[in-house]
Amino acid sequence: MLQNDLILRTLRGEQTERTPVWMMRQAGRYLPEYIVLRNKYGFFERCQTPELACEITIQPVDIVGVDAAILFSDILVVPQAMGLEVQLKENVGPLLPDPIKTAADLARIRVPEVDETLAYVFDAIKLIKQELNDRVPLIGFAGAPWTLLCYMVQGKGSKTFDEAKAFCYAQPELAHQLLQMITDTTIAYLKGQIKAGADVLQVFDSWGGLLSPADFEVLSLQYIRQIVASVKDEVPTIIFAKGAWHSLEAMSATGAAGLGIDWCITPQMARQFAGNQVTLQGNFDPAKLLSPIPVIEKEVKEMLTAFGPGRHIANLGHGILPNVLVDHARAFVNTVKEFRF
Amino acid sequence: MLQNDLILRTLRGEQTERTPVWMMRQAGRYLPEYIVLRNKYGFFERCQTPELACEITIQPVDIVGVDAAILFSDILVVPQAMGLEVQLKENVGPLLPDPIKTAADLARIRVPEVDETLAYVFDAIKLIKQELNDRVPLIGFAGAPWTLLCYMVQGKGSKTFDEAKAFCYAQPELAHQLLQMITDTTIAYLKGQIKAGADVLQVFDSWGGLLSPADFEVLSLQYIRQIVASVKDEVPTIIFAKGAWHSLEAMSATGAAGLGIDWCITPQMARQFAGNQVTLQGNFDPAKLLSPIPVIEKEVKEMLTAFGPGRHIANLGHGILPNVLVDHARAFVNTVKEFRF
């Protein structure tokens, strides 16, 4: 039995004694303890060595006191397992030197046997669960198929991912073949994470907000829907489609227990769009953690008040920025933990 | 009298024989005729030489047949006129090597006499009006104060403009001083554009969508409101705050004649938020111009149908991408021009 199951109860819609809190990218570059390991080991070495992934995953639980751990990994381990080369350069971002552009490129990749290609993730989860010793839940995750397609086609980060979009608009059959391959891999991958011990799953659609509402349904949501349907009866699932406020109602209808929202929508509007049957997660502007601590405290309280009690997990509206001071991250977490309605 | 005043009548809310159309960044890198001039002259040389600015401004009227010309210039001429060094590198983006970070930095800049510092823009407008010879209206423009602050503080482009935000959150008094200086300069600048002959004005808030609804009001909209109030009785004014769908109602209340919207909102939702007293402009996904022409034609018709007749200026939801073929841009424009309800 988990000692702190606030997040699980909140995802079930139960009233809790306070709002739970974690931060996207909480295991990361703002923590000096993480930087030490980053300077010693390459990115994939950290992901693929269960002891390192475990240590990094648990750091923010110990250091800033969040109510959940989230697996240290990257969404691009899935394209890698599918057979694409992925390089992750510190401070530069991902590079996929041989992206998918044609049917021949698609033939180069496959839906892999995840128990072979991603066994290191499942081993890490088992070790983390053991080390966490039921203090807080462990969140597993994967990228949404659309977001993974963006990288697999564009080959690197982009503001607009227009090459990825052009691929989808000009070769829709190929795009849907690729999206289905990613979806099938992701379902097997997330089922493996559940089997290894993940208590909650989050699907990150970082680039969902680049699509029109109609294209979001066709290129993204219909695949997320398959994923949620496959895992939601085993563990509660959170969809975070950054910027896709227009589809909160449709995402709520997938059966996801939670929906992540960014700071560019008010909690009131998000609740109105999403309805009352889903827990909302967010939505502090990550750049606001660069404010003086009294400003952070004031704005966090305003956010909590705007969401109201219940059906809310406090979080940032995107990943924590690397230049945030640990004390500021702690001020965010502590303000949530001390707040009472 | 303008021979083609479709856009002006649409901005007044009159029913017109068809939907008017232009494209953001229509005078730009997708046109081979523009590339010829780009390869011969530097960016600011093109802006500051009325004959070049005039030629570039009129190119898309002749080549793709849009219903308006928009002044060839850049929003960063304003920070430049205020005393900041601005470099614009082809294919790299803007660089401001001495950005504003402190009160001492703020003392380095001023609200300039626009008739001296920006006379070249007014000269270009006069020449363009003469050369256009009343074929279509000329749109003048400026950046919104928030978007200009982003560049003036961050010093370069960014996905998140977190340094600009941190400046505003940590030093709000300084931020508001800067925003007011930009606003005062912009009002004088736009009044000069009207005097020189601009028929319509557009205020570009490219980074408005990075702010929460509350911060958008405080850091952006209250300054846009001052600008619109100062010019709207002389010429119709369009606000394009990319991503700020949440504030369409508030932007409509400024008295702007038009509101630009991006493709991440349906026309129906935008109309619902903005009300019936304002013209909407947009909102084709610029990446969709990379699709095959039949797909473009089909999707443009769907967009026009979704907006319905009246109170709509067809446009992209952001600037045209440099890798769009001219024939595809022309397919966009022609589909609008041939469509009848």
Q: A98: domain CATH number?
A: 3.20.20.210
CB atoms within 10 A of CB A85: 11
Is B226 part of any domain? yes
- pLDDT at position A130 over 90: yes
From the candidates B29, B149, B169, which should be mutated to test the interface with A, based on the most A CB atoms within 10 A?
B169
Distance CA B282, CA B225 (A): 21
Across the range B161-176, mean pLDDT stands at: 96
Residues of B identified as active-site = 25, 29, 38, 74, 151
pLDDT for position A85:
97
Q: Which two tokens stand for residue A105?
A: 């490129």
Which chain A residues contact residue B243 at CB under 8 A? 243, 264
CA B4 – CA B45 distance, rounded (Å)? 31
pLDDT at A256: 98
Nearest chain A residue to B213 by CA: give it: A264
Instruction: Calculate how close chain B gets to A249, using CA atoms only, in Å.
Output: 14
Q: Which of B160, B211, B264 sits opposite A246 (nearest CB)?
A: B264
Q: Provide, as residue numbers in chain B, all residues whose Cβ is less than 8 Å from the Cβ of A268.
A: none
Nearest CA in chain A to B164: A287
- Looking at this predicted complex, what is its ipTM? 0.95
Q: A297 to each of A268, A300, A304, A328, A330, how far by Cα in Å?
A: 20, 5, 11, 9, 10
Q: What percent of chain B has pLDDT over 90?
A: 98
- Whether B89 shows a pLDDT value over 90: the answer reads no
Number of domains observed in the structure of chain B: 1
Decide if A1 is inside a domain.
no
Q: Can you name the residues that pair with A258 across neighbouring β-strands?
A: A238, A279
pLDDT of residue A166: 96
Segment A243-266, tens digit of pLDDT: 999 999 999 999 999 999 999 999
pTM above 0.95, yes or no: yes
CB B224 within 8 A of CB B145: yes
Q: What is the DSSP letter of B210?
A: G
Give the pLDDT mean for B109-137: 98
Confidence of residue B92 (pLDDT cuts 50, 70, 90): confident
Average pLDDT of every residue of chain A: 97
The answer to the question of residue A188 being in a domain is yes
Closest partner residue to B212 among A166, A285, A295, by Cβ?
A: A285
Q: CA-nearest residue of chain B to A213?
A: B264
Whether A89 shows a pLDDT value over 90: the answer reads: no
Peptide bond into B283 cis (omega under 30): yes
What span, in angstroms and rounded, lies between the C-alpha atoms of A325 and B341?
57
Is residue B287 domain-resident? Answer: no
**Token pair for B157:** 């482009």
Half-sphere CA count of A145, side-chain side, radius 13 A: 28
Distance CA B203, CA B144 (A): 6
DSSP code of A319? P
Which pLDDT belongs to residue B91?
76
Mean pLDDT of all residues in A152-168: 96
For the stretch A203-229, what's the b/e string if a residue is b when 16 or more beta carbons lie within 10 angstroms of its beta carbon?
Answer: bbbbbbbbbbbebbebbbbbbbbbbbe
In a domain, B190, yes or no: yes
- Average pLDDT, integer, range A146-156: 98
Q: Is B189 part of a structural domain of the chain?
A: yes
Please say if the pLDDT value at position A90 is more than 80. no
In a domain, residue B85? The reply is: yes
Q: How high is the pLDDT of residue B24? A: 98
Q: By C-alpha distance, which of A93, A86, A77 is closest to A29?
A: A93
Closest CA to A198 of A245, A249, A140, A274: A140
Domain region containing B187 = 6-279
Which two structure tokens, joined as six digits, stand for A74? 């990257």
- The answer to whether residue A208 sits within a structural domain is yes
Measure the CA–CA gap between B332 and B63, rounded to whole angstroms.
13
